Chains A and B, each alone.
Chain A
Amino acid sequence: MRREVLRMERVSLLERGVIQLHGFTLNIFEGEVVGLLPVNNHGLTALLQLLQHNTPLRSGYIYYKEKPINTWRSSKQRQNRIGLIQSESSLVEGLSVADNIFVLRPGAKAWLIRSSTQYKQLMPFLEQVGIYISADTYVSELSPFEKVVVDVLKSVMAGCKLIVLREIRTSVGDEDLRKIHSLLRYYTDQGISFLYIDSHYEELRRICCRVALMSNGGIIKTLKSNAAILEPFDMISKPTLFGGELALSGDAMRSTSPERNAHFVHSKKNDIAGQASRAHDERGVFEAKNVTGSFVYNVSFTAAPGKCVVLQGESDQMLNELLQIFSGQPASGELLLCGKKASLKSNRDIAIIQELPTHTMLFNELSYMDNLCFSLDHRLPEIWRSMQLREGIRREYASTLGADVFDSRVDKLSEVQKYRLVYTRVVLQKPKVAFVVKPFRRTDVELRVHIWALLKMLLDKNISVVILTINLADCVSLADNLIRLRGSPAANV
């Protein structure tokens, strides 16, 4: 007889007048890894909040270990023993691993903390999973992979029978992800269940026995991991960009379907060698020669106009250091822009699209137009004085961005509109090279297709695109050149 760890039965949730969950039905058995693929992110945050804090329901029932914990009739709003692990760790950086696991866990009641006892208690757990982390190491010194392991251990020690993992792929590399999957399998054998949230079907299929498709706050279908299904992804990834149907190339359309994407990536990899040699023939707009820092070693690559280079790092520190170097911080090695040594600091020939750009690159207190023209003054010095110029830009881009967005408040725009704004700003800036950091982080399936098309738009405008990422999913289908960065000399694939 199987045991249900979680059952959500026709759950509807209303938050500030907006229906976040609508007839949400999902069950998770003991020792099972269930995938959750958000077609769009609507209701996802509310779902996580609900799982942890039992917020009052509009309708439906929630059972944890077959006991009702939250129903539409009554909601006790107590904290559930459900662990939540996201790409940003919830661990306290200034405390040691043992303190995070034992002292900060819910239900810890000890008045005196004996470090030696904690270490003794922790060691068997680490030995069981075959991962060795010193118990007295500060969390700030851990790698993203180790943080995930400590987060999992913390949830296990807190007695959580269900652990939710959200987009951990974005913070750890492929090798570490494989280790995390082994860790999850170990704990599923111990009867712990996982809800694994990711916007990549291929990724979910690697670890999950079932994958639930979530759209507009409801589960529309649950697929077995061996289900060879292509159509739903074609259906949900109909790209409509800039108000109309996006004219993606055949390759682009193929890559929107994860199943097909795998095949496409494979054939793309085969083409990489040929393309890389062609790229070498072309004169690069940006060249990095033997760039070395604290985390990166001897990185060399050339970015040609209209070509995409993907730099895959092992950790966030590595990517942050590279970004700092590319934005003008000196390091050993040589950086050439159009074949010449140039100051990269505040150079408008270089654009940087940061991680989560809708949060980090938009100014809510400025108007849409001000945000759009933010980096245009080097091309049109009169832009802030001339109303006519701004009107001209508005007329030109109204057909693509939508006429109504110019009068909207930036914080009221949809996520897709915000992404369009950021990328169109870069197009207006007209840089030679654009560095894009983890472009697909925290995106749902629909948004991924839009971002993919926006990156393609930059390439079509003959801008050289350099993507800095940890996980290769999505980026590979755009890459003309793929470079894997390691602590040792970079290996050009």
Chain B
Amino acid sequence: MGFFQAKWKYIFFRACILFVISALFAILAAIIALPAYIVLPVFTLFLIAGALFIIRPYLRADKLIKLYLEGYSLLSEEDGVYLAISPATDMLFAQLQEIASPTKLFSLNKRQAQYLALQNQINPHFLYNTLESIRSEAMLAGLDDVASMTEALATFFRYSITKVESLVSVEEELQNCETYFSIQQYRFGERLKLEIVVSPEDREDIFRCRLPKLTMQPILENCIIHGTELKIGTGHLSIHLERTEKRLLIRISDDGIGMDEEALHRLNDKLGKGISLAMQEQETKGGLALVNVDNRIRLLFGDEYGLHVFSIPGSGTDVEITLPAITSDREVKNTEVLQ
């Protein structure tokens, strides 16, 4: 049976109930000989009521379920109201909330983030390149540089591994990005440049804002590995921060090789698709770091925040992170995931 046939079957079923009630009323009206000026308005009322209370809720619930199947989360109270077209659907929604609990999903993501951090530690290329840089610096310049490199590495690991689920200030996150960048710079030298752009008058406000730990660094890493590493010549990275009344906007850009429209759509679809589906897909396909960051943001703050990628081949990639402008952990929408 085709999709439309199935859909209309259910609408037809509900319309039939309405028709039976209307027919009963018509029979009753005929028996007691009600005048037309009463029968017609009552019939019209039946029709309007049918449209408002039977067909419209059904279509709305139908739309929400379809969106859920596409990967959107249906966890708000508002969604519950729309889905409650019968006691059974109400119970189904309650069970769904239990299964797809943000706390459970967040702990899954947390484990992934820890795994990512661990992977970074044991990534042989990352370690070898860094150690090679330390060695060459030690040979050429003396112990001062070795000390600073080692310190940077230690600072980075310390920040990355502990309390991945907690929120940090933008300032702390930027410091971690700079530490990570300084480590990468020992490898790339002058081939890599980082610029952090913040409006001077908003600087303090922005730096006080809170965001999930390891939000910017994995994206910066992505920019280096997939964007500028393959580029001939100097790679320019920039972190642009802006604050509006309600939002914190972070744009991490590179001028690397970029990607074609098809790859861009695939990546953005994965980011916008929702938690459960994206988690299924990331097992097999790339973009783990971006999906992980996007998932954590959406679980903490809601579907209206997250990541979006812009890119064209040869002109670099921009990753835009949209977050709520909050300065305290208590303002987080879903606080239980932080515990």
Binding site for B on A (CB under 8 A): 1-4, 7, 9-10, 22-23, 25, 27, 29, 59, 61, 66, 68, 71-73, 213, 215-216, 218-223, 229, 231-232, 235
Q: Apart from A23-B308, A223-B315, what are 13 other A-B pairs with CB-CB below 8 Å?
A: A1-B243, A2-B202, A3-B244, A3-B245, A7-B247, A10-B272, A10-B308, A23-B268, A23-B269, A213-B312, A231-B314, A231-B315, A235-B312
Contact in complex: B318, A221 (CB < 8 Å) = yes
Q: Does B265 count as interface, using CB distance less than 8 angstroms?
A: yes
Contact in complex: B78, A23 (CB < 8 Å) = no
CB-based nearest B residue for A229: B315
Binding site for A on B (CB under 8 A): 67, 70, 72, 78-79, 82, 199, 202, 205, 242-247, 249, 261, 264-265, 268-269, 272, 304, 306, 308, 310-315, 318, 320, 322
Which 6 pairs across A and B sit closest by C-beta, in order of nearness? A231-B314, A232-B312, A25-B308, A221-B310, A221-B312, A23-B268
Contact in complex: A59, B244 (CB < 8 Å) = no
| Shortest distance from the beta carbon of A70 to any chain B beta carbon, whole Å | 12
CB-based nearest B residue for A213: B312
Instruction: Specify the main secondary structure of chain A where it touches its partner.
Output: strand
Cα A3 to Cα B322 with chains together (Å) = 14
A-B contacts, 19 listed (Cβ < 8 Å): A1-B243, A1-B244, A2-B242, A3-B245, A9-B308, A23-B265, A23-B269, A25-B310, A27-B249, A29-B244, A59-B70, A66-B247, A68-B304, A216-B261, A218-B265, A219-B310, A220-B264, A220-B311, A222-B318
| Shortest distance from the beta carbon of A269 to any chain B beta carbon, whole Å | 29
Cα A223 to Cα B243 with chains together (Å) = 20
Other-chain residue from B202, B310, B313, B322 in contact with A222 (beta carbon distance below 8 A): B310
Contact in complex: A1, B205 (CB < 8 Å) = yes
Cα A231 to Cα B255 with chains together (Å) = 12
| Shortest distance from the beta carbon of A4 to any chain B beta carbon, whole Å | 5
Cα A223 to Cα B318 with chains together (Å) = 10
Instruction: Specify the main secondary structure of chain B where it touches its partner.
Output: mixed
Cα A73 to Cα B310 with chains together (Å) = 25
Residues of A within 8 A of B311 (CB): 220-221
Cα A220 to Cα B312 with chains together (Å) = 7
CB-based nearest A residue for B316: A221
Cα A221 to Cα B318 with chains together (Å) = 8
Contact in complex: A235, B314 (CB < 8 Å) = yes
Cα A10 to Cα B267 with chains together (Å) = 13
Contact in complex: A232, B314 (CB < 8 Å) = yes
Cα A26 to Cα B179 with chains together (Å) = 31
Contact in complex: B272, A2 (CB < 8 Å) = no
Contact in complex: A73, B245 (CB < 8 Å) = no
Cα A453 to Cα B261 with chains together (Å) = 25
Contact in complex: A4, B244 (CB < 8 Å) = yes
Contact in complex: A59, B67 (CB < 8 Å) = yes
Residues of A within 8 A of B79 (CB): 73
Cα A25 to Cα B247 with chains together (Å) = 15
Contact in complex: B261, A220 (CB < 8 Å) = yes
Cα A178 to Cα B183 with chains together (Å) = 50
Most buried by B among A10, A71, A222: A10
